Amino acid sequence: MISAPEDRAGGKIWEGNREAAVLFDGRVHKPVLHGASQDTRDGFAHLAELHSFVSEPVCSSSPVLRQDLDLPSSWWSSLRKDLEQVNGMPTERVAVRQEWVDRSVPRFLDLPAPRITEWATAHGDLHAANLTSVTPVLLDWEGFGLAPVGYDAAMLLAYSLLAPGFADGVREAFPVLATESGRVAQLVVLTELMQSASRGDHPELIPALRALAAELS
């Protein structure tokens, strides 16, 4: 259920799951959207969506992974295949904007803003709390859209820096992270998480985020 003032209902997050269903249901491992209903009362709009039930546990109760996971190679292969499918799907939705990068990277990383030259469709919020531990199933598609190539892998890596074994698994599964495009994607994600930390979200990640930024600079 999503609610918002009537004059603010709509936009990227409001439409995300329904647009993702059109592009990705039946093509990648994600909950299938069976229906949606919208109602307006007392100046507020309410959106309810019915998705298929996912019985598998998530990899973590928090986006920040704090302990390593023993996952089979098939888990990584499935995730890589699904993200390749996502990356290749055309969309007009935008998850990251160059203008935001230009403003925010110098502010939060004290580094020059990189120029994004390669773009691909991304899930947009890939971390251990949005992945199940068996298939994996990818959850929460509200924020999908165009982002730097390697963005999803960079996001998964950044949120996993406190679990070094899993972080190594991300690097091994996604060689794009070792390319220039992957470096740019990591700097963008690190900036996003540092901005989020400045608002009080996951401050325990800050030292690891700064250390990785130093390696990439």
Tokens of 201: 């979200």
pLDDT at 1: 55
Tokens of 141: 């598609």
Mean pLDDT of 10-37: 84
Q: What is the pLDDT of residues 56-89, one digit of tens each?
A: 999 999 999 999 999 999 999 999 999 999 999 9
pLDDT at 16: 74
Q: In what order do the strands lie in the sheet with 33-41?
A: 2-5, 44-51, 33-41
What is the dotted CATH code of the domain comprising 73-216? 3.90.1200.10
Residue 170's nearest CA partner among 182, 159, 183, 156 is 156
- Which amino acid, 146? L
Q: At residue 129, what are phi and psi to the nearest 5 degrees?
A: -80, -10
pLDDT at 50: 82
User: How far apart are the C-alpha atoms of 16 and 157, rounded to whole Å?
Assistant: 24
Instruction: For strands 33-41 and 2-5, give the pairing.
Output: unpaired
Of the listed ranges 7-16, 36-45, 54-63, 190-199, the one predicted with least confidence:
7-16
Mean pLDDT of 138-166: 97
Beta bridge partners of 122: 145
Beta bridge partners of 46: 3, 39
Please write down the long-range contacts of 73-80, taking CB distance under 8 Å and 24 or more positions apart.
75/133, 75/134, 75/135, 75/136, 76/169, 76/172, 76/173, 78/29, 78/135, 78/136, 79/131, 79/136, 79/138, 79/173, 80/173, 80/174
- Which comes out higher in pLDDT, residue 11 or 60? 60
Residue 56's nearest CA partner among 110, 108, 130 is 130
Of the listed ranges 9-13, 98-102, 168-172, the one predicted with least confidence:
9-13
- Which comes out higher in pLDDT, residue 8 or 62? 62
CA–CA–CA angle 95, 81, 173 (5° rounding): 90
Beta bridge partners of 2: 47
Mean pLDDT of 156-165: 98
What residue spans define the domains of the chain?
2-51, 73-216
Q: At residue 188, what are phi and psi to the nearest 5 degrees?
A: -65, -45
User: How far apart are the C-alpha atoms of 168 and 63, rounded to whole Å?
Assistant: 17
pLDDT at 113: 97
Q: What is the pLDDT of residues 97-133, one digit of tens each?
A: 999 999 999 999 999 999 999 999 999 999 999 999 9
